[in-house]
Structure 1
Amino acid sequence: MNLHQFRFVREAVRQNFNLTTAAKALFTSQPGVSKAIIELEDELGVEIFRRHGKRIRSLTEPGKRILSSIERILDEVETLKRVGKDFASQDQGSFVIATTHTQARYALPKVLTEFTKRFPKVKVSIQQGSPGQIAELLTHDRADIAIATEGIANTPGVLALPGYQWHHVLMVPLSHPLLNQATLTLEEIAKYPIITYDKAFAGRSKIDAAFAQRNITPDIILEAIDADVIKTYVETGMGIGIVAGHAYDPDRDRNLKVIPAGHLFGNNVTHLGVKQGAYLRSFVYTFIELFSPTLTKKIVEQAMSNESETYEI
């Protein structure tokens, strides 16, 4: 048996048992993948996949255990590669961050500016996507770290580290009636059309839960994954915006006013996610501490040695 066979099995599962797409993902031929899997099954003496004709349909019971072992082996291989790279070049290499637009636009600029000063030879890549896409990039070894508010803490195999807390705010045009309210309530907000995040992004679950608890059905007329898009439509007068507080930019948002809304929608926590059992290069620890100073290398290492997938400080 060999690592190629292990990769073929893992990719076949990732591609929903489609050997053609698995072969394309691994830049090889479908017959080659099929042959390698059969040879591995022959060597192990068990069938890894259930088949219908020539097509594989699902994992057998022993196949599930074999896949679990394969994933651990391949993770250890990646760890060995990273250890070698780290000792060969402590301050250079590639660093892939998977994150949402809001984090990339508002939370990362100062952090990455300082990071690149310390590690000018490290090539940084930001991969933007939904929380689900971000988690997939991390678990499939296509990112070193994931940063998001939603999704990461619930992803198997990912250690979620608390980065920082934040609250939602309302953004309204300069002369909006809500600016005259002494106390902001959900009932008052619900009188106006609302523009806010897509359901998968930036604490939207907290917004929905707050209205649901009061049996209020808000008029959400537009959803977006990008805070800048939300603010643009608020400026047109289409509705009021509910966005992350750190998305407010005083220089850019001169035509908007901010109304704090944390008392209505509660706290949100942006998490940094790393793959459980992964080897983190030295500059990744530095990045994590720059992003959240309480997350020192010692604390991160302690969290990674814990079996829990969510770590709280």
Structure 2
Amino acid sequence: MNLHQLRFVREAVRQNFNLTDAAKALFTSQPGVSKAIIELEDELGVDIFRRHGKRIRGLTEPGRMILNSIELIMQEIDDLKRIGKEYAAQDAGSLTIAASHTQARYFLPKIIPAFMQKYPKVRLSLLQRKVEDIAEMVLLDQANLAVVTASVPEIEGLVTLPCHQWEYHLVVKPDHPLNDSRMLTLDEIAKYPLITYDRVFHGRNRIESVFEQRNIKADILLEVIDADVIKTYVELGLGVGIIVGTAFDAERDKNLRSIPVGHLFGTGRSSILIRKNAYLRSYIYAFIEMISPNLNRKLVEKALAGEGSDYEL
């Protein structure tokens, strides 16, 4: 048994069981991949793949268990390589961050410039993705960590660390009557057309349910997936907007006013996702602490090792 065989099995699965594509991805020959996989199956005494003629069609039951073990082995090997690289160059390397739109657009721009100034030798990549795709990227080691606005369910193999809290804000024009209200009520807001998130956004259901619980009909004029679009149409005078507070920037949004409405629609918590037992280089711990000072290296290491699960902001 050797590492090449393990790599070939993993890549065959990643390439949707196409050995030709797997060979291309690994810069080798298709017959060589096929031969190595058969030799591994002979050594283990079980079939890893289901076959139809010369083509493989999927994993067998033992094949699924073998793949899980291979993924763990390859992750450990990748971590060994990272350890060597870190001690060879303490302040150089790469950092890949997967982020939801709100984090990539509004929150991380406050963090990334300072990080790059402190670690100029680190090559940083920011990948904006849908929340449902982000967790898989971290699990597959395509990203070192992820930052998401929405709360995510517990996912096996991932550690979720809260990094900052937010509340909903109402955005209006500077001369809007709601600016004069000391404590906004749902009845006051419902007098105006609403511009808010599309139903694909995690908080849309919460906004609607608040109105429904009070038997107040909300006049939702426009539904979008981008807070910048919401602010654009509020600025045009078409209605009032409800957005995540993180998405409002007083300097950029000088033609609008933001009114906190967490007392009506509640608060949320953004989180950092990291693969359990992942090896993180020193500058990645530094980046995490820049996002949230409470997440110091000692606490993150304990979380990655599975020691405790309750982390306060």
3-state SS of the aligned residue for 1:295?
coil
3-state SS of the aligned residue for 2:90?
coil
Contact 2:151 2:269 in 1 (8 A): no
- Deviation larger for 91-100 or 169-178: 169-178
Alignment of 1:111 with 2:107, yes or no, is no
What are the residue-to-residue correspondences of 1:296-307 with 2, within 5 Å? 296-306=296-306
Matching residue of 2:224: 223
- Deviation larger for 63-72 or 208-217: 208-217
Within 2, Cα distance between the matches of 1:33 and 1:214? 63
CA separation of 1:191/1:92 partners in 2, compared to 1, >3 Å: closer, same or farther?
Answer: same
3-state SS of the aligned residue for 1:83?
helix
CA separation of 1:86/1:105 partners in 2, compared to 1, >3 Å: closer, same or farther?
Answer: same
Alignment of 1:101 with 2:76, yes or no, is no
CA separation of 1:31/1:275 partners in 2, compared to 1, >3 Å: closer, same or farther?
Answer: same
- Deviation larger for 247-256 or 79-88: 247-256
Within 1, Cα distance between the matches of 2:38 and 2:193? 58
CA separation of 1:8/1:285 partners in 2, compared to 1, >3 Å: closer, same or farther?
Answer: same
Matching residue of 2:240: 240
CA separation of 1:236/1:91 partners in 2, compared to 1, >3 Å: closer, same or farther?
Answer: same
TM-score, normalization by structure 2? 0.85
Contact 2:18 2:56 in 1 (8 A): yes
Within 2, Cα distance between the matches of 1:189 and 1:52? 63
- What amino acid sits opposite 1:300 in the alignment? V
Matching residue of 2:6: 6
Tell me the CA shift for residue 277 of structure 1.
1.2
Contact 1:93 1:121 in 2 (8 A): yes
Tell me the CA shift for residue 26 of structure 1.
4.7
Within 2, Cα distance between the matches of 1:196 and 1:26? 46
Tell me the CA shift for residue 287 of structure 1.
1.0
CA separation of 1:20/1:196 partners in 2, compared to 1, >3 Å: closer, same or farther?
Answer: farther
Within 1, Cα distance between the matches of 2:233 and 2:73? 50
Tell me the CA shift for residue 88 of structure 1.
0.6
- Deviation larger for 205-214 or 244-253: 205-214
Tell me the CA shift for residue 12 of structure 1.
3.8
Tell me the CA shift for residue 75 of structure 1.
0.8
CA separation of 1:195/1:121 partners in 2, compared to 1, >3 Å: closer, same or farther?
Answer: same
Structure 1 unaligned blocks of 5 or more:
none
CA separation of 1:100/1:23 partners in 2, compared to 1, >3 Å: closer, same or farther?
Answer: farther
What are the residue-to-residue correspondences of 1:1-313 with 2, within 5 Å? 1-19=1-19, 22=22, 26=26, 33-150=33-150, 152-181=152-181, 183-186=183-186, 188-190=188-190, 192-199=192-199, 201=201, 203-204=203-204, 206-211=206-211, 213-214=213-214, 218=218, 219=220, 221-224=222-225, 226-306=226-306, 311-313=310-312
Within 2, Cα distance between the matches of 1:267 and 1:132? 21
Tell me the CA shift for residue 307 of structure 1.
6.1
Contact 1:145 1:273 in 2 (8 A): yes
Tell me the CA shift for residue 242 of structure 1.
1.7
Contact 1:160 1:311 in 2 (8 A): no
Contact 1:98 1:126 in 2 (8 A): yes
- What amino acid sits opposite 1:223 in the alignment? V
Within 2, Cα distance between the matches of 1:174 and 1:28? 64
Tell me the CA shift for residue 289 of structure 1.
1.1
- What amino acid sits opposite 2:224 in the alignment? E
Contact 1:19 1:34 in 2 (8 A): yes
3-state SS of the aligned residue for 1:108?
helix
Within 2, Cα distance between the matches of 1:236 and 1:22? 52
CA separation of 1:155/1:210 partners in 2, compared to 1, >3 Å: closer, same or farther?
Answer: farther
CA separation of 1:10/1:214 partners in 2, compared to 1, >3 Å: closer, same or farther?
Answer: farther
Question: Sequence identity of aligned pairs in percent?
Answer: 57
CA separation of 1:124/1:29 partners in 2, compared to 1, >3 Å: closer, same or farther?
Answer: same
CA separation of 1:238/1:248 partners in 2, compared to 1, >3 Å: closer, same or farther?
Answer: same
3-state SS of the aligned residue for 2:111?
helix
Larger Rg: 2
CA separation of 1:285/1:183 partners in 2, compared to 1, >3 Å: closer, same or farther?
Answer: same
Tell me the CA shift for residue 143 of structure 1.
1.4
Work out the number of aligned pairs and report it. 311
Tell me the CA shift for residue 197 of structure 1.
3.5
